[in-house]
Amino acid sequence: MINRILLISCCLLPLVTHAADESAGPGGWKGEGALGFTSTSGNTDSETLTANLGIAKESGQWKHTAGLKVIQAETDNQESADSIVLIARSEYALSDKSYVFGKIRHEDDEFSGFEYQNSIAFGIGSRLIADEQHLLDMSIGLGARSLKDAQSGETEEDGIVTADLIYEYTISETSKFGQTISIEEGEENTHTESETSLKLQIDGNLSAKLAYLIKRNSEVPANTEKTDKITTISLVYGF
């Protein structure tokens, strides 16, 4: 059931964006792509390549974002694990600081021991701080999730509570510190992600980014570690 809802939501998202464009002023998508090298420890100890793509658009009271993260790990020149995470989120501003949101998330992560984790959630958020130097955004929501055990093949569905935090600190014109925390808590599993990053502008739209990602699942299949830690050094191109 949840997978069907996610599929329908993915199909409707472009229509929602188009409807927002019709009532808003001119605007366009912006984003960034990154390619990097990763050192991974946890369920998989290996050398890893990563690729990230993120896009965003604001039209009137609407804000739409989408992101794709891909990790491919190799050990002894053989593919050992892949991770694909796709997130789409739409926000509608209620005021300068508060908003309501809807988001969908798909994760196909061989590091975690789950064949997939899919979720959909709706909630409310607030930009507690938004000035030239600091950004602090927090949101909470309720939703549903479907996950499949990679070993047993069993599929579970549960209700979830979500919490997201975004903090950005502009150190200078060429450097920015970032911290994000995302939590999905349900009866079957609590999934937590924390990323700490430092981005340094090299020239124009090209930057270097150092990031440390921690991913944790409270309930995992047998012989699977609960926590994965991923250190990434990547080149980022903004557009």
> Each residue of 90-140: pLDDT tens digit?
999 999 999 999 999 999 877 677 788 999 999 999 999 999 999 999 999
Report pLDDT for 41: 63
Amino acid letter, residue 12: L
Q: At which residue do the structure tokens 């990230």 appear?
A: 52
pLDDT of 16 higher than 70: no
Q: DSSP readout, 178-203?
A: EEEEEEEEESS-EEEEEEEEEEEEEE
In this model, does residue 45 exceed pLDDT 50?
yes
Closest Cα partner for 35 from 234, 238, 237?
234
CA 111 vs CA 28, 82, 94, 233, 234: distances in Å: 36, 7, 39, 19, 20
Buried b (16+ CB within 10 A) or exposed e, 157-189: ebebebbbbbbbeeeeeeebebebbbbbbbebb
For residue 211, the cross-strand partners are: 197, 232
Kindly list the structural domains of the chain, giving each domain's residue range(s) and its CATH number in brackets, ordered by start. Answer: 2-238 (2.40.160.40)
Distance CA 159, CA 123 (A): 14
Lowest mean pLDDT among 143-152, 161-170, 177-186, 199-208: 143-152
The residue among 14 and 72 whose pLDDT is bigger is 72
Residues whose CB falls within 8 Å of the CB of residue 15, separated by 6 or more in sequence, listed in order: none
Report the range of poorest mean pLDDT among 19-28, 202-211, 213-222, 227-236.
Answer: 19-28
**pLDDT over threshold 70, residue 79:** no
Question: What pLDDT score was predicted for residue 209?
Answer: 97
Q: Is the pLDDT of residue 8 over 60?
A: no
Nearest CA among 113, 138, 136, 114 for reference residue 124: 138
Cα–Cα separations (whole angstroms), residue 21 to 16, 57, 82, 93, 138: 9, 10, 36, 15, 26
Would you state the pLDDT for residue 87?
97
Interstrand relation of 155-172 and 78-93 (parallel, antiparallel or unpaired) = unpaired
| Residue 10 scores a pLDDT above 70 | no
pLDDT of residue 46: 66
Question: CA 229 to CA 38: how far, in whole Å?
Answer: 10
